[in-house]
Amino acid sequence: MKLAKVSDRLFPMFPSFMDNFFSRDLMDWNNANFSSTNSTIPAVNIKENDDAYIIEVAAPGMHKENFMVNMERDRLWISSELREEKEENEANYSRREFSYQSFQRSFTIPEGSVEGEKITAKYTDGILIVNLPKKEEVKPKPAKRIDIM
């Protein structure tokens, strides 16, 4: 069953809102509910150089204590949890506010390519940087000249 488009005459002040509401797929979780501008999952940059893979997670307002970074087999897990509570008690009112933010991301690392014991992480200026050093055997080797006999 298809919903009919709402006439602009019925809602003259909100035509674009109503058109958008009835035309979009409310269960399209990949596009509508987790867009890059409204997401609670932080943006991530993944870089690779000759010596390491570097993962940068944008998480301003956090503290290093809020993060957990784990490596299990060939999967890197990054998670964060932040809880805040405020309470005010005055003579004729009481107010209690709290907020809770969390996320968890995982990244598959190429099998056997990372020195698991040498992984480091630091949180600076709102960015968590995880450095995954490559094993010697997967680092690029310089070109070898082969003499012709």
In whole angstroms, give the CA distance from residue 144 to residue 26: 58
Q: What is the pLDDT of residue 20?
A: 45
Q: What is the pLDDT of residue 89?
A: 81
pLDDT tens readout for residues 41-67: 889 999 999 999 999 999 998 899 999
| Options 3.20.20.110, 1.20.120.1690, 2.60.40.790, 2.60.40.1120; CATH of 42-138 | 2.60.40.790
73, pLDDT greater than 90 = no
19, pLDDT greater than 50 = no
In whole angstroms, give the CA distance from residue 76 to residue 111: 12
In whole angstroms, give the CA distance from residue 39 to residue 93: 35
**Mean pLDDT on 105-117:** 92
Report yes or no: 104 and 114 within 8 Å, Cβ to Cβ.
no
Residue 74: band (very low, low, confident or very high) from pLDDT cuts 50, 70, 90? confident
The domain limits of the chain are 42-138
pLDDT tens readout for residues 2-14: 333 344 444 444 4
**Mean pLDDT on 90-119:** 86
